Amino acid sequence: MVKQPKTLEVGIAQINPTVGDFNLNQHKIIDYISQAEKSKFDLVIFPELSICGYPVWDLANKKSFVETNLQVLKNICQATKSYQITSIVGFIDFGKKKNGKNKNALAVIRNGKIILVQHKTLLPTYDVFLEEIFFEPASAHHTFVLNGIKIGTSICEDIWEDAYPVKPVKIMKRKGIQVLINISASPYHRKAPIARDDIVRKRAKENKIWLIYANQVGGQDDLVFDGRSFVADPRGKVVARAKPFREELFHVSIPLYERKLSEVLLGSLNEIQDIYEALLLGIRDYVEKNRFQKVVIGLSGGIDSALVATLAVDALGCQRVIGVTMPGVYSSKGSYEDSEILAKNLGIEFRKYPITPLYQAFLEQVAERKEVKNKTALPMTLANENLQARMRALELMYVSNDEGCLLLSTGNKSELAMGYCTIYGDMCGGLAVLGDVYKTDVYRIAQYRNQISKVIPKTIIEKAPSAELRPNQKDQDSLPPYEELDQILELYIEKNMSEKEIIHSLSQKGISKEVILDTIRKIEHNEYKRRQTPPLIRVTEKAWFGRRMPITNRFGKS
């Protein structure tokens, strides 16, 4: 009689695939399987849709895309057929109907053969997920046996069964599984790590099973996947945790018949550090996966552009970042000097492209058309403010086109909420780095980053925010104090609280009803601007991307 092994040696291959880069993904998967085989693991687990990357949206129903992904699955089988290890990879399977929807699937591979295919049962369709549009659900639930242990498989949402009539985990528990594997591509937002911990521990405990949660890592347009794979034991305690925001082959030795492992607590998350890491990964992967050599950033002397430049340097290195200061008529001397110091601290290329000559020339034309004496006789208008922002965009996009680099836009979530930004001006760019970061968090992240090394000048952090588009302009002339504004925004956008509830909730904090109602009115009025943003890296529970509002909407308007 063969003696049963006492442990299951599991490798979680927490990888960063690239959507559609089948060559890269195939090599990465085969490499990690080979490493795991060499390490004599019993099992190696890859994240959801690891062969093609996640999310793929409508690519899931592009025939040649799915065919290529199936070929890669075959290649992986072929390359590992002499291996002892069992591997689990995510892929897209063709659906039942010829031109119908396809399936989000996983394959369990052993000795070069697919021994089990499990489709995803629960298809999340809310917020940033639209899987019902692209996939059809599983109709059966399978298990397999490894070293005498019955193992169930599931994909991401399948373990979040509480909200659904079908309960995949319960079904598999009834089939007698001891271990459940969940392959995920669960995007980061600041509350996600706790939510995942809660659900995995709950599922493990209520079913008295081991639960192995393998998550993807990497940036993909608006989304960042934070990895953080982990394993919960049948008591519902987490006994092993992989790193956040890093690719790795994470090893867990699961003691199936004996000793208990000690608990590894999630601990108190440093939310600001997390957001910082998420933004780094979001920038790096957007730039690398889209093959940009360099990025360009307009440096205004304010905190937003200073933080974006810092993040870009941390993500890409100083050689790949160009900072451009574009002083205008209302720019302060301090703004230029602060930008210069920042650029020096960061070690980036620093350019100065003043917009004043073109701005003056434009206004002369306007004066002529309006038949006023000269440009100084023109009133200062919103059109003139926007014009300056757009002239800066003209300069930055010229650099982008001329030198083939990506323009990073610097606006934050608070500004985008209020429409305190210029469309085709400072909103321009291929990636909106801070588009889901509240202004008060921009400050916190800057402070956090300066603790690592002092790069952002104190003067930038301490000055009153200003767009410097008219004389003596301050953000706070047009907006509530950011400490107040961001509280309103969080309750309204993330918590979906009603006007009444927000007024009630913030009345003790001294925020007036008028400010709250005016803020909400402005949020809704500026939907048209947000419709034209580039992808913005999601870090909160509700980013603009997951909030769908009509532009034409007269609710609350006279």
Least distance in angstroms from the C-beta of 225 to a second copy: 13
Q: Which residues contact 319 (CB under 8 A, 6 or more apart)?
A: none
Any residues with CB less than 8 A from the CB of 58 and at least 6 apart, and which? 134
Is 461 strand, coil or helix? helix
Write down the catalytic residue from 28, 120, 294, 529.
120
Tokens 């997920």 locate to 129
Give the nearest distance from C-beta 414 to a second copy in angstroms. 20
Mutual angle of helices 22-38 and 63-79, in 10-degree steps? 20
Whether 156 is a known active-site residue: answer yes
Cis? peptide before 55, omega within 30° of 0: yes
- Which residues fall within 8 angstroms of residue 110, CB to CB, at 6 or more apart? 85, 86, 87
Q: Which residues contact 552 (CB under 8 A, 6 or more apart)?
A: none
- Give me the amino acid identity at 124: P
Question: How far apart (Å, rounded) are the C-alpha atoms in residues 336 and 340?
Answer: 6
Cβ of residue 221: shortest distance to a second copy, in angstroms? 5
Residue 90: CB minimum distance to a second copy, A: 16
Closer residue to a second copy in complex, CB, 460/488:
488
For the bound state, the minimum distance from the C-beta of residue 385 to a second copy, rounded and expressed in Å, comes to 9
Least distance (Å) between residue 410 CB and a second copy = 16
Residue 217's identity, in one-letter code, is V
Whole-angstrom Cα distance, residue 185 to residue 16? 10
In the Cβ-directed half-sphere of 385, how many Cα atoms lie within 13 Å?
Answer: 15
Say which of 9, 28, 48, 484 is annotated catalytic. 48
Cα–Cα nearest to 162, from 200, 133, 131: 200
Instruction: State the minimum distance, in angstroms, from the CB of residue 289 to a second copy.
Output: 5
Compare residues 37 and 349 and give the one whose CB is closer to a second copy: 349
Q: Which is nearer to a second copy, 3 or 369 (CB)?
A: 369
Residues 156, 405, 421, 428: which is the catalytic one? Answer: 156
Residue number with CB closer to a second copy (193 or 327): 327
Query: What sections of 290-370 are H helices per DSSP?
Result: 303-316, 333-346, 356-370
Instruction: Give min distance, CB of 205 to a second copy, in A.
Output: 25
By beta-carbon proximity to a second copy, the closer residue of 19 and 217 is 19
Q: How far is the CB of 327 from a second copy (least distance, A)?
A: 14
- 103-110 vs 86-93, strand pairing mode: antiparallel
Q: Which is nearer to a second copy, 55 or 302 (CB)?
A: 55
Tell me how far apart the alpha carbons of residues 134 and 58 are, in angstroms, rounded to a whole number. Answer: 6
Tell me whether residue 176 or residue 550 sits nearer to a second copy (CB atom): 550
Closest CA to 226 of 247, 251, 252, 249: 247
Q: Report the residue number, 133 or 264, with the smaller CB distance to a second copy.
A: 133
**Smallest gap, in angstroms, from Cβ of residue 338 to a second copy?**
23
Q: Is 508 helix (H, G, I), strand (E, B) or coil?
A: coil
Query: Can you tell me the distance from the alpha carbon of 28 to that of 31, in angstroms, rounded to the nearest whole number?
Result: 5
Q: Give the nearer residue to a second copy in terms of CB position, either 427 or 446.
A: 427
Q: Report d(CA 56, CA 223) in Å as an integer.
A: 12
List, as one string, the DSSP characters of 350-419. Answer: EEE---HHHHHHHHHHHHHHHT-SSGGGSPP-HHHHHHHHHHHHHHHHHHHHHHT-EEEE---HHHHHHT
Is residue 120 part of the annotated active site? The answer reads yes
User: Could you write out the DSSP letters of every residue in 426-453?
Assistant: TT-SSEETTTTS-HHHHHHHHHHHHHHS
Please identify, using beta-carbon distances, which residue of 5 and 419 lies nearer to a second copy: 419
Query: How far apart are the C-alpha atoms of 185 and 196, rounded to whole Å?
Result: 12
> Three-state SS for 150?
strand
Q: Residue 176 — left, alpha, or beta (φ > 0 → left; ψ -120 to 50 → alpha)?
A: left
Are the CB atoms for 188 and 278 separated by under 8 Å?
Answer: yes
| Active site residues per annotation | 48, 120, 156
